[in-house]
Structure 1
Amino acid sequence: MTADSSVCLIPAGSARVELRVVNSRFIGSAAPAATVENAKAFIAAVRAEMPDATHHVYAYVIGHGSSTIKGMSDDGEPAGTAGRPVLSVVQGSGLGDVVVVVTRYFGGTRLGIGGLVHAYGDAAKATLAALPRTEKIARRSLRVTIPYAAYEPVQRLVVVHRGTITHTEFAADVALDLSVPEAHVTALIDALRDVTKGRMTVTTMVLR
């Protein structure tokens, strides 16, 4: 089932599922991956954990919608029989920022093209079905400059509005880099304006 396209879903944890097809073992592993580097690190970790496996087929989707980065590998299986079916399952799941590795231990019986496609696809489906999910919250980065006297009240307001202070600079005034859930941005700016009596500026506002 494909998730509602208006909701950005990401893994809330990891999952591992094992299927047996004829005499082969297919071990699916999935995890969050906010970047390609995260995905590659997870793939390398699975390889290191099971170095004696026959294949480590993988697929990942970073981001959501039109801004996704995709990757896959058949890892020695016949072209199109492994990585592509796994990627198809991942794309159909509605998840972003996710990596799936399907590890195969060959059991001595060849499955054929169709058998491989089904086995890898089924392993990916079972793994994603076991994967906990959460909604990805859109956040906005703000740089706010405030008087020193407002520093402590502003810290409290940021927490109330579920934001975080990612960087602080102390100069003539205090400059704060904030990461704030999109839904809280307007209310937070209004609250900052009130607590500083208008003596604040928002110098940058970048979506991420």
Structure 2
Amino acid sequence: MTDEYVTVAGEGHASFGDRGSEFVGYVTGAASEEEAQGFVDDVRDGHPDATHHVSAYRVRDAGTVRGIYDDDGEPSGSAGKPVLGVLRGECTENVVCVVVRYYGGTKLGYGGLVTAYSRTAKRALEDAGTRKTVPRDEVRVEVGYDDSGTVRDVLESEDVGYDAEYGEKVVLVARIPTGRADGVVDRLLSATSGRARIER
């Protein structure tokens, strides 16, 4: 697996109708299964009267990508699986999609469901847009004021953005590309002669 991957650029929304049934799709980014499930719950709460709330997500977990789907009462493999297939087919990661269905009174059949759910998911994903990114580690660096300039210099030389809080100590929180995090941490410890307190 390469360090660079594709995720969504923002939130997406789309709708699709077939023989009276209405399908409404939502897509957003999710950095964990908890975030993805939280989005599914939010969409479910926003459409309490929908017949089905079908979902799928792909999130990175310890260097691998987990793909999860839920048919939510539709025939097995006819709904969540094709939605997951869209996410996988577009090579997107850290993304979640929910498609809600309002049943219109006419059964669509297995093939009709696959088409409706995948088409709605694809339109929502297209609406969200995609971007390339790299996995990052959040690194928290706590130092005294005397070392804070040194830490900022190291982070800026590595082209790493950070947020700083100034209290009794200086706390800098940086999001460092995972493949470079060990090297940056070593540089920070070396530059401060081990005085920096670093948490990842």
Q: Does the CA contact (< 8 Å) of 1:10 and 1:98 recur in 2? A: yes
Match of 2:70 among 73, 78, 100: 73
Match of 1:43 among 30, 40, 43: 40
Identity %: 33
Amino acid at match of 1:162: V
Amino acid at match of 1:134: R
Deviation at 1:117, TM superposition (A): 1.1
1:19-168 equivalence runs, <5 A: 19-63=16-60, 67-140=64-137, 148-159=145-156, 161-164=159-162
TM-score normalised to structure 1 length: 0.76
- For structure 2, the 5+ residue unaligned runs are none
For residues 81-115 of structure 1, give each alpha carbon's deviation from its aligned partner in whole angstroms, at most 9, with x where no partner exists: 11111111111111101110111111111111111
Deviation at 1:180, TM superposition (A): 2.3
Q: Does the CA contact (< 8 Å) of 2:162 and 2:172 recur in 1? A: no
Change (3 A) 1:57 1:156: same
Deviation at 1:63, TM superposition (A): 1.4
Amino acid at match of 1:58: S
Deviation at 1:182, TM superposition (A): 5.3
Return the alpha-carbon distance in structure 2 between the equivalents of residues 84 and 73 of structure 1: 8
Deviation at 1:176, TM superposition (A): 6.5
Amino acid at match of 2:175: S
TM-score normalised to structure 2 length: 0.78
Change (3 A) 1:170 1:176: farther
Match of 1:181 among 177, 180, 186: 177
Specify the SS of the correspondent of 1:79: coil
Specify the SS of the correspondent of 1:130: helix
Change (3 A) 1:141 1:55: closer
For residues 14-46 of structure 1, give each alpha carbon's deviation from its aligned partner in whole angstroms, at most 9, with x where no partner exists: 111001112111111111111111111111111
Return the alpha-carbon distance in structure 2 between the equivalents of residues 28 and 143 of structure 1: 37
Matched residues, number: 198
Return the alpha-carbon distance in structure 2 between the equivalents of residues 65 and 86 of structure 1: 24
- For structure 1, the 5+ residue unaligned runs are none
Return the alpha-carbon distance in structure 1 between the equivalents of residues 61 and 48 of structure 2: 32
Deviation at 1:128, TM superposition (A): 1.1
Q: Does the CA contact (< 8 Å) of 1:141 and 1:178 recur in 2? A: yes
Return the alpha-carbon distance in structure 1 between the equivalents of residues 111 and 93 of structure 2: 27
Amino acid at match of 1:32: G
Specify the SS of the correspondent of 1:180: strand
Change (3 A) 1:127 1:113: same
Larger radius of gyration: 1
Is 1:200 the counterpart of 2:169? The answer is no
